[in-house]
Amino acid sequence: MAIGLVFGTLMMIPGMDMVGVPLLLVMYIGMFSAYMVVFINLYGEYIKIYKREKSDIGMLFTGLSVNFLRKLGGMLYMMSLIFLWSLFFYIPGIVKGFQYFFAPYILADCPKVTATEAVSFSMRITEGRRWLLFVFMLSWFGWGLLNLFTFGILWIVYLGPYFYTSCAGMYVEMRDVAIAEGRITRGELGLPEEFPDAFTKDEPGGDYNNDWHNPSSDRDWNSPRRGSGWEDEDSRRN
Catalogue the E-assigned strands of 65-137: none
Distance CA 184, CA 124 (A): 7
Q: Which of 69-78, 88-97, 120-129, 214-223 has the lowest mean pLDDT?
A: 214-223
Q: What confidence score (pLDDT) does residue 17 get?
A: 56
Q: Are 125 and 174 in contact (CB under 8 A)?
A: yes
Q: Are 172 and 51 in contact (CB under 8 A)?
A: yes
Q: What is the DSSP string of 93-108?
A: HHHHHHHTTTHHHHHH
Q: Which of 74-78, 87-91, 216-220 has the highest mean pLDDT?
A: 74-78
> What's the rounded mean pLDDT across residues 202-207?
45
Question: What are the residue ranges spanned by the domains of the chain?
Answer: 66-226
The rounded radius of gyration (Å) of the Cα atoms in the chain is 21
Q: What is the mean pLDDT of the chain?
A: 78
Distance CA 99, CA 76 (A): 16
